[in-house]
Each structure stands twice: as C-alpha cells, then as structure tokens.
Amino acid sequence: MAETKDNKKLVEEITPMEEDFAQWYTDVVKKAELCDYSSVKGCMVIEPAGFAIWENIQKELDRRFKETGVENCYMPIFIPESLLQKEKDHVEGFAPEVAWVTHGGSEQLQERLCVRPTSETLFCDYYQRVIQSYRDLPKCYNQWCSVVRWEKTTRPFLRSREFLWQEGHTAHATAEEAEERTRLMLNVYADFCEEVLAIPVVRGQKTEKERFAGAEATYTIEALMHDGQALQSGTSHNFGDGFARAFGIQYTDKDNKLQYVHQTSWGLSTRIIGAIIMVHGDDDGLKLPPRIAPVQVMICPIMQKKEGVLQKADEIRDELIKAGFRVKVDDRDKNPGFKFADCEMRGIPLRIEIGPRDIENGEAVLVRRDTREKETVSFADLSRRVGELLESIQNDMYEHAKAHLDAHTFSATTMDEMEEILDTKKGFVKAMWCGCRECEDAIKEKTGATSRCIPFKQEKLSDTCIYCGKPAQKMVYFGRAY
C-alpha cells in the first residue's frame, strides 16, 4: 500500500492476503467498489466498476459465441412446476436451491412457478414446438440473464442467490454433432480465460458424481486461486437425447423417420470476476489484465492547478482514445500519492504521471501496475509505447499465473502424500483413481478435497488407485474448492 512521507496510509488498508485471504478478498471487492451488500439477503449490488468488467466479459464472449454460429435469445424467468418435473434427475439436482412463486398479487397460483435456476426445461419446451425437420437443425441459442439459486452460504461474486451469467442451449441431429459442440464451447471458455483474462485453466471432464444434473457428460475448466483453492470457471454439458425423450423433441430425418435430437448446455457466470480478483490481486488490491480492464490507462496530473497541466492531460487522453485505448484522467482534487495508490488498488494496468516539468521536457512517466516498473517516454512516442506495455502486461500476467499454477500442482501416489500436500503446500493434487464413487467420496471425507476434473491430458502416475489400491482407470485433479 502506498504511503506518504509521514507513513500515513493514502488508501484505506487492505488486509494482507497471507494474514487472512478471505478478508483480503472482501476488502478488495469493497474498496475497489466492485460490489456492495444489499437489503436482500444473499444478493449483491454490482457497482459500476464491477459491472464494467462484466460488460467487457460479455462483449468478448458474445463475439466468440457468434463466430461459432450461436444466436442470442431470451426465455422467461418463471418455470411452471409441471415443466420442471419432466426430467427427474434434473429436478432432483436443483430441488434444494429452487425459489418458488406461490402467489400472484393476493391470489394463490393454481401451479407454483419456479424462479429459474437454469433454463434447460424452458428451452426444451420451446424446441419441442419449433423443431419438426432435420432442416430446423441445429439450433444454437444463448441467453444473457440472471438466475436464482437459494444458496445457504454466500460470498460476493463467488456464490450469491441471484447472479448474472450466460447459458447456451443447442439441439443437434446426431450425438456426434452434440459432442463436438460441447467440446467446442468448453474450448471457447478456456481460450477466453487464457487469452483475455490471463487465467490458465485445466480442461477436463467431471466425474459422474460431479457432473451436471441430467447430463451424460460435463466438461469443465478449473482455475487455481492464489490461496491454492480451485474454482470451477466454466462448464459445458452433453445431454445426449435424455431431455429430448422427456420432452418429446423429435424431428423427421432425411429418410422421413422420426429421431430424437441431441442437446448441449454451457454457461459462465459473474463468479469469473472472483477468479480475476483471486488469481491476479495482491496486497495493494486488484490487478486487471489489460484486455478486460474497463480503464486500461489512468492519467494522473501532478500539480494540476498549474497552468497547462490539465489541458495536456486531456490532450494525451484524447490522443490515446483515438489510438484505441480505454483512458481516463484522474482530475480529482487529491494529492498525487493518493491518486497513485487508488489507481493501484483499482487494478488499472498502466498509469501515466505528468506534471509541469514533464511538459517542459516533452515527456511523461509510465508506471506498470503489475511490476511497478517506471519509464520515461516522449510525448511523440506515447501511443506506441502504451500499446507495447499493455501487451507486455497482458502476457506477463498470464505467465505469472501459469507459473503459480505449475508450482502448485503436485502428484501423489499415497493418501498420506495427498493429505500433506493439501495441508501444507496447497494446490491441485494429481492422483490415480479406480473410477469407484466410494473412493471418490472417501477421499473427500478424509481430505476435504473434491475431484475437480479428469484432465484431457492424461498421465500415468502409478498403476493403482490412491485410495483403495485397485487398478487405476484415470488420473484425476483433486483440490479444495470454492
């Protein structure tokens, strides 16, 4: 945290992450004004600074979705109970989290309405009406919306009773097409996280225990937070024809025979903002990757009441905006030290300092948020150098996060090894597994770690299951998680 010469804090203190990571996270969320608590228990107010990050996520993901042929639509927020009951596994999976509407005004409803926890049943009901022929396929739809899940324990961005997300729902003629779409969308998420959010992820498949209710297969991207805990950051589900059979979604194929469609579903939510905070942040606050930062460059005028300083700052801002950067001028009546610290706390990737002497010399000082490195650049070279530095910051933040992931991914061949790693080193533990649900449950009971995924990139660490000693089937990533 930046300090003045008399050692007085310029920005309200943030709890050091090594002292109390949970409190550090809350402090950052609050002091960077990303979200606030609301009078509705378990729900959050997403403030402009937080929503601006979500808007950038939405914009970039939406573009990537549409490049794969996806179209946007919107479904109702309410689901009739009879509709929800049509797919048994699905309703059982969500029953504990469902919020119900029982009255309309003062009158009791004839049928309860579920406030959507997810929209599979609504899309199925719609597809059943509009799909008749193979010519109607595929249907590749997505909606940006909010959902409600009545969580017992909530935490800003990571878990709340209402949250924002996107949910894609597609229908295909064949099982092969559905599987191809399921994996395609998982890779869209993974590439987005790595290329835009600078968050490295592990790609893989969920075990039967952890897969989505009603799915034949669930694929996931798993990220590792600074404290060594995992965060599921995006999922893609292959439903096969299970939902189609429950809802009667059939089409006439080229041979004039009736067939059931094969469906997929995939989603990413505002919890990814929590991942950005916990992967990149430090004791001074946020660190935002340039490609997702609402403000990429903050210009901080020094001695701004001196003639010409604010005018030059505005001139530089306009020049950089014209060059394609997201730029603001901090012209508040605060001392420079406060502005510098506030800029760092909010995670703005690059800071430009400019004062009377700088103007006289025809140059400005550029300061990176990630490394605090400073350099002096001439006005004539500013746009070019800002572009180079932002690209360097983006790449370096990814490499830093990747190094942390690699350094906190361990292998274990015995339960003692696994417990020691989880308790002392913290991170992902790779271990062999026999495929038995009982062993998976026992590992969770003994260590508090869940199976995060069966990675696509398999390794053979030993021949036997880490828990029971029987022949191993798969290598699995285990970890304690949010």
Tens digit of each residue's pLDDT (9 = 90 or more) over 150-198: 988 889 999 999 999 999 999 999 999 999 999 999 999 999 999 999 9
Residues 6+ apart with CB under 8 A from 201: 190, 193, 194, 221, 222, 223, 233
- Residue 1: what pLDDT? 40
SS3 assignment, position 35: strand
Per CATH, the architecture of 297-396 is what? 3-Layer(aba) Sandwich (3.40)
* Confidence band of 8 (pLDDT split at 50, 70, 90): very low
Helices (H), ranges, 268-381: 271-280, 309-322, 336-345, 356-361
For the chain, give every residue range classified as CATH 3.40.50.800.
Answer: 297-396
- Residue 303 contacts residue 355 (beta carbons within 8 Å): yes
- Residue 94: what pLDDT? 76
Residue 326: CB atoms within 10 Å: 18
- Residue 27: what pLDDT? 97
Position 2 pLDDT exceeds 50: no
- For the stretch 112-131, pLDDT in tens is 999 999 999 999 999 999 99
Average pLDDT score over residue span 204-211: 97
Share of the chain above pLDDT 90, in %: 93
Cα radius of gyration (the chain): 25
Average pLDDT, the chain: 95
Of the two residues 93 and 208, the one the predictor is more confident about is 208
Position 3 pLDDT exceeds 70: no
For the chain, give every residue range classified as CATH 3.30.930.10.
Answer: 21-280
How many angstroms separate the CA atoms of 234 and 333, rounded? 42
Specify which residues 145 forms β-bridges with: 165
Position 329 pLDDT exceeds 50: yes
The region that residue 202 occupies, defined by phi over 0 for left and psi between -120 and 50 for alpha, beta otherwise, is: beta
- Residue 341: what pLDDT? 96
- For the stretch 231-241, pLDDT in tens is 999 999 999 99
Residues 6+ apart with CB under 8 A from 214: 87, 89, 90, 93, 120, 239, 242, 243
Choice among 81-90, 205-214, 358-367 with the minimum mean pLDDT: 81-90
* Confidence band of 13 (pLDDT split at 50, 70, 90): confident
Residues 6+ apart with CB under 8 A from 67: none
- 426: Cα within 13 Å, side-chain hemisphere: 9
How many angstroms separate the CA atoms of 439 and 390, rounded? 47
- For the stretch 339-382, pLDDT in tens is 999 999 999 999 999 999 999 999 999 999 999 999 999 999 99
Task: Assess if CATH 1.20.120.450 describes domain 21-280.
Answer: no
* Confidence band of 12 (pLDDT split at 50, 70, 90): low
- For the stretch 216-254, pLDDT in tens is 999 999 999 999 999 999 999 999 999 999 999 999 999
- Residue 7: what pLDDT? 40
How many angstroms separate the CA atoms of 248 and 173, rounded? 14
Q: Which amino acid is at 86?
A: K
Per CATH, the architecture of 409-479 is what? 2-Layer Sandwich (3.30)
Specify which residues 100 forms β-bridges with: 114
Strand segments (E) across 63-131: 71-72, 78-80, 99-104, 107-115
* Confidence band of 468 (pLDDT split at 50, 70, 90): very high
Chain-centroid distance of CA 234 in Å reads 7
- For the stretch 29-38, pLDDT in tens is 999 999 999 9
Specify which residues 165 forms β-bridges with: 145, 269
